Amino acid sequence: MDTKRLILFIALSFGILFFWQKWMEERYPQIKTPAATASATNGSTPHAAAAPGQAPQDAGRLQRGQRITITTDLFNAEIDTNGADLRSVKLLKHGMIDNAKKPFALLQDEGEHIYVAQTGLIGEGLPTHKSTFTSAQTAYQLADGQKEVSVRLEAAGPDGIKIAKIYTFKRDSYLIDVKYELVNGSAKPLTTSAYYRLLRDGKTPEGSGGHMGATTFTGPAVYTEKKKFEKVEFSKLDKGEATYEQAAKDGWVAMLQHYFATAWIVSPKDAPAVGSANGVRYELKKLPDGLYSAGVIVELPTIAANAKYETSIPLFVGPEETRVLNTVSTGFDLIKDYGIFTIFSKPIFAVLDFIHKMVGNWGWSIILLTMLIKAMFFPLAAASYRSMAKMRKLAPRMEQLKAKHGDDKMKFQQAVMEMYKTEKVNPLGGCLPMLVQIPVFIALYWALLASVELRQAPWIFWITDLSVKDPYYVLPVLMTISMYIQTSLSPPPPDPMQAKMMKIMPLMFSVFFFFFPAGLVVYWVVNNVISIAQQWYITRQIENADDDKPVKLAKA
């Protein structure tokens, strides 16, 4: 492959990446929907009664009652006595985009964003997410040495039925146990179902976009053993075209966004599925006021007169950290959105995470990962650089052939191919390092884009967040310089126009890298530096070797 084709290949590769990401942006658009209106918030709009066996249809109307605050090692949370809903959750170990010292607000029911967790019971007179609950106190805190803290809220039902909803927050866990305790004080059996839903608007959170138009998925998802992982776009719910598994005995339902997620877990890891006896129904739907619901309805067994029954479902509220996701439920790690590059990005991040456990810094982990990748592909790179070095050595003879054959391009090409054959040079060999780097580069790009572990993760000096671009553009400049040096080591093209293109290529590439995450540019700079060292060493060996003696390269 000559230099002209190499340039065309590189340009096409980045062009495909760019337009593919633009297509993804159109495929998963950032939906701009208004927050719930004032009339919806104060509940002044009439609402329809729920059909038998269905959750109430007016889930979007949030009335405000007394607030109960909970503070743990991971959360600042608020439960509203109106419905005993979880209305606010701030993650203490993750910062806001504009202020890393301010806890990240994942759930909230105020301002321009609506995102809450609701539950209720289905049956005449039983408490729903609109009923008033009471609590013994208004503030709870996980004390030092305490493993968990529970918040008990109570409501009365018809005919002497008593209901309690109990939230249990555990130390070092993003899983919140939500339990219903039902005491049937009536003289007849009680038949009911419990619903658990996540309510939010369709807005794409700030910072969900990637680079060059790439965006991560925002919306609901359902997982069952039968159909596995199914994402459903908000636009599908708008059109009534959503398809997903609606009845199962296992799984979970979630609301996903960049870096963070919430989910009701029907099948907790290492525990029997909540719906294993009677089954569950998953329900994704659009609600009034630009809101959406992702929930599950669990059919409860009949509770005899004067009997007591308890049922619980864990609620996940937290970051999409791989070490956390793997402990929640089967298939829960799939919520970490690597896009179509999962098959490559997932193992790359697994290796990166393993290195990080040893060095404790994501920047140095990326550097060590780069060195490991270069070591793995050294035999291939060595063959490529050897071919490039031989072609560089043949450059004077190339000029002689060009002068000899003048404008007869066919004879010139024939003479060049004959020279390659005689000298045992493979003109395709010089392209192999780039061919290897492109899939690794794209896979690492998506691994960095999807991994909350690198969000606001510092490296050294001015690089305080590896998931965003270098604020001072030092790394892209270093990358441009390294590419220029690497280009100078390559064999000069015989065509003057191609030679000029090779010189301006580093500048062309730098336009892309100025907007890439700093972690990705770190990878590319280190990759280039190692490549320069390898190529310089191999080129020097070739140039200093006697023509009649084979060159023996030192092993990496």
CA proximity to 434, closest of 12, 9, 4, 18: 9
What does the CA dihedral 6, 10, 11, 12 come to, rounded to 10 degrees?
100
Q: What residue type is 84 in one-letter code?
A: A
Q: What is the CA radius of gyration of the chain?
A: 30
Instruction: Burial-class residue 391 by CB neighbours within 10 Å (0-12, 13-18, 19+).
Output: buried
35 DSSP 8-state letter: P
* Residue in the block written with tokens 């990240």: 104
pLDDT score recorded for residue 491? 60
CA proximity to 24, closest of 321, 243, 337: 337
The low-confidence residues of the chain, meaning pLDDT below 50, are: 1-9, 12, 16, 18-52, 59-60, 212-213, 546-548, 551-556
Could you give the C-alpha distances from 212 to 112, 162, 342, 474, 478, in angstroms and in order? 27, 56, 19, 20, 21
- pLDDT digit string, tens, across residues 204-232: 877 555 554 456 789 999 999 999 999 99
- pLDDT digit string, tens, across residues 108-135: 998 888 999 999 999 989 999 999 999 9
* Residue in the block written with tokens 């780069």: 370
Task: Write out the H or E segment, with its range, that includes residue 182.
Answer: strand 175-183
- pTM for the structure as a whole: 0.80
DSSP string, 112-158: T--EEEEEEEESTT---TTSB-EES-SEEE--TT--EEEEEEEEE-G
Task: Provide the H-helix boundaries in 316-425.
Answer: 322-325, 342-359, 362-376, 378-393, 395-405, 409-423
